[in-house]
Amino acid sequence: MDPVGTSADIRRRFVEHFEAAGHTAVPSAPLLVDDPNLLFVNAGMVQFKPYFLGQETPPYTRAVSIQKCVRTPDIEDVGKTTRHGTFFEMCGNFSFGDYFKAGAIDLAWELVTKPIADGGFGLEESKLYPSVYEEDPEAVDLWRKATGLPDDRIIRLGKKENYWSMGVPGPGGPCSEILYDRGSAYGADGDFNAEDRYLEIWNLVFMQDELSAVRSKEDFDIAGSLPKQNIDTGMGLERVAFLLQDKQNMYEIDVMFPVIERAMEMTGRRYGADPGDDVRFRVVADHVRSSMMLIGDGVTPGNESRGYVLRRLLRRAVRSMRLLGYEDRALPELFPVSRDLMAQGYPQLQADWERIATVAYAEEDAFRQTLKTGTTIFDLAADEAKSAGVSVLSGDRAFALHDTYGFPIDLTLEMAAEKGLAVDEDGFRRLMAEQRDRAKADAKSKKGKHAETGAYREIADELGRAVEFTGYEEVVSEGAVRGLIGADGSVISSAGEGAEVELVLDRTPFYAEGGGQLADEGVIELGNGARLQVLDVQSPITGLIVHRVKVLGGEVGLGTPAQALVDIERRRSISRSHTATHMVHKAFREALGETATQAGSENAPGRFRFDFSATGAVPQTAMEDVEARVNDLVLADLAVQAELMSQADAVKSGAMALFGEKYGDVVRVVSVGDWARELCGGTHVERSGHLGVVKLLGESSIGSGVRRVEALVGSDAYRFLAREHVIVAQLSETLKARPEQLPERIDDLLERLRSAEKEIEKVRLSQLLSAAGDFAARAVDLAGVSFVGEIVEGAGGGEARTLALDVRGRMPADRPAAVLVIGVQDGKPSVVAAVNDAGRAAGVSANDLVRAAATLLGGKGGGKDDVAQGGGTDAAKVAEALEAVRGAISAR
């Protein structure tokens, strides 16, 4: 049985109490709810709404549940008060047309006041105050009857506090709260608005009215009575837990405070030492738990709706750890602690841990990079604003943080508030709108290294027509130099050997980068003997093809005849990749549905990447099906054809248009047989058989709702498969197994290796702990204190803590004793101090001992007077640190 007062014990007692009263135990619903008015389940009654609204007939008349909930409107207040948290557990009992006010009041009062030995919570009646709706005299009478309390202990409150509705027409009714008086230290006597003093632990909703014309929380019409009277109650598990556990707030209860303790170990700071740090510790504890529970129920970080809430929670937790001085990855240290605390109530956390951890840790990695650069920029901007005597961070600074460094605006607002600054949000929104307006124009902007559009326009005007692209039919063509742009971005007339310039021909076979296809490379040979290497090809303005070239020899001048020679092998390899992209796109739409639309691509020599819309990871079976489908059609050697037709005819033919690009009246449609048809300006192979083979390497997420597949084509794919074949053959030989047996054989080896590692770790820990008796026997007297100080090579922080506590337990309890263990693992020292009751009475503090040692070791530490822990970076000073602790005990 769970220890009395733990969260698990509270859950158990609540459910057992109501099961004994004929209630059906209903499991918690997932946090995600199919309700347009809610992001997440935010109350215990949400899963029962269809019953309360009369939309469905309940399969039971009485129910009890422990419902996980998330409320996010008060994220900024988390940690600043003792009441605000995002994730919480709501213990509720419900009656659907069965018992009403009397039954709800009797059942609640019985559980709250019943002695712990009888299965109740054992709260003192003298500290409990029922509250009622001021216009509900029936409830007053029922509370008197159930509790025997005098009239002045039953508090009358108005609609705002004690009338419940869903905020829309439908069921509603008066409610009663059970308030717990925490004493005068938390507020004035009789001030029932002082929530820290008169803490609401349970709300009993008496659903009896049919509401209409709901205008606000306190302004509505009562159309009449409900056909059936219902009961909806909610008891806050966290609030009852911190009362029963004698804690100050919800953050210090058994399922939350260990996360704070781990954060203290990681940061070397103490909870309770600094109000600002306390807020950060609480944010960490709350947001880690909330994020874990949300991911467990299927939420993934994103930029909208639920995903944005999760992203915000994760990033606030990470940033709080950084403000506490911890710069390394924090979530891999904190999430497992919260998992172990919550798994007793929610075992699916363990079963689905790999996915949960992967999602959370990937988000932290992304945000750490954002913070690395963005925080520095923000601090500079904030300091400049303060130096200038202004109290508002400009909209353009906030926009730059968002646009350049990936800072979400809410993070900028929070950081500004911490520095006493406001943010020009209107200016930020205006710049965001301007950015969206110019997005398409920016996508088509030049890629030239220095040149302004004016130089390109000057050359285009001089040319008088579009550059003729001949690359669909040939890879070598004759032309003449019609324009040159120098390194400074100005139009020039000539360039000599070694210069890098941009060059325009009147006609060219070189493909300019576009539509995901990389630019051609090659050479241009001039009639005067000069030779140019083509490094890049772009189309900075419509109708102009610009070659970035390096003059290898001779001189280039305007009007010089030129022969352009494309690198044929590169062109062929890129063309194979481009055709393969079309085929893979079509195959994914067949496998995953029409929503799997291309969202980007890059066609490079021998390889390509293909981005497409998807709600989640692509199953391995789908990847295999796509690869098989494409290679079957490669073997079918389908003809690849390009046709010019009107846009209307192209649409009628089933051709796809991508990226929302604007097309002219005449478009180019590329078809792979009668199978795949797309509008495309790129170059392709003549037949699908020219691809040879297509090998999909894998898929991954590159953003919210977008997946990326990477693949090899042709000889690159063949070489990859050949290497894999050699590796498989070598493994088969080494493991004496057929290729198809390798996965099972390798899994078996890995399992045996893990088992061996566990056994080795057990033996090592056993050997370590076996030394505890010897350590205790070597205790020395330091000014009346039995002291054991040991340096243990190979021991990490956890092992040092276990050893220190074991040694302390072996020392006489009636004599002051202190233990200090310094473990050194991989060159990093960890310090743990443990002091018995007699030692603390003699003035020895484990916290002080750890600080004395950790300071010398270049680190920090802290904890309580009985046990404290810390660490450092300088293992060379462990002996000096031990002597410092000896001196501190002797000199106390």
* Neighbour count for residue 59 (Cβ, 10 Å): 10
Contact 728, 746 (CB under 8 A): no
Which residue shows structure tokens 């046990």?
867
From the number of C-beta atoms within 10 Å of its C-beta (0-12, 13-18, 19+), residue 185 rates as exposed
- Name the DSSP class of 101: H
Give the chain's largest Cα–Cα span: 112
Question: 3-state DSSP call for residue 874?
Answer: coil
Instruction: Give me the residue label for tokens 């939309």.
Output: 55
The answer to whether residues 211 and 171 touch, using CB atoms and an 8 Å cutoff, is yes
Cβ atoms of residues 24 and 62 within 8 Å: yes
Query: Identity (one letter) of the amino acid at 215?
Result: R
Backbone dihedral angles phi then psi of residue 690, each to the nearest 5 degrees: -70, -15
Q: Is 17 annotated as a binding residue?
A: no
Helix (H), strand (E) at residue 583: helix 568-592
Taking the C-alpha atoms of residue 792 and residue 787, their distance in angstroms, rounded to an integer, is: 16
Q: Is 582 annotated as a binding residue?
A: yes
| Rounded distance between C-alpha atoms, residue 674 and residue 692, angstroms | 20
Q: Sheet holding 676-679: strands in order across?
A: 640-646, 666-672, 676-679
Q: What spatial distance separates the first Cα and last Cα of the chain, rounded to whole Å? A: 44
Q: Are 208 and 163 in contact (CB under 8 A)?
A: no
Residue 41 tokens read as 């389940």
CA distances to 31, 58, 166, 746, 765 from 52, rounded to whole Å, are 19, 9, 11, 55, 57
> Is 578 one of the annotated binding-site residues?
yes
Beta bridge partners, 565, equal 476, 523
Q: Which residues pair with 211 in a beta bridge?
A: 170, 222
Spatial distance between the Cα atoms of 577 and 604, rounded to a whole number of angstroms: 7
- 10 Å CB burial of residue 327 (0-12, 13-18, 19+) is exposed
Measure the CA–CA gap between 758 and 753, rounded to whole angstroms.
Answer: 9
Does the CA dihedral 402-406-411-415 come out positive or negative? negative
d(CA 396, CA 434): 12
Tell me the three-class secondary structure of 499-516, residue by residue.
CEEEEEECEECCCCCECC
CB 250 within 8 A of CB 285: no
Alpha helices for 603-654 (secondary structure H): 620-635, 647-652
Distance CA 76, CA 411 (A): 11
Cβ atoms of residues 825 and 856 within 8 Å: no
| 3-state SS track over 373-428 | HHHHHHHHHHHHHHHCCCCEECHHHHHHHHHHHCCCHHHHHHHHHHCCCEECHHHH
Are 353 and 337 contacting, i.e. CB atoms less than 8 angstroms apart?
no
Task: Give the Cα separation of 208 and 363 in Å (integer).
Answer: 46
Helix or strand or coil: residue 786? strand
For residues 188 and 177, the answer to whether their CB atoms sit within 8 Å is no
- Write the DSSP string, 207-275: EEEEEEEEEETTEEEEEEEEEEEEEEEEEEHHHHHHHHTT-SSGGGSTTTHHHHHHHHHHH---TTS-H
Burial of 502 (0-12, 13-18, 19+ CB in 10 A): buried
Kindly state the DSSP code that residue 114 receives in the 8-state scheme. Answer: S
**Residues of the binding site:** 578, 582, 680, 684
**Residues of the binding site for Zn(2+):** 578, 582, 680, 684
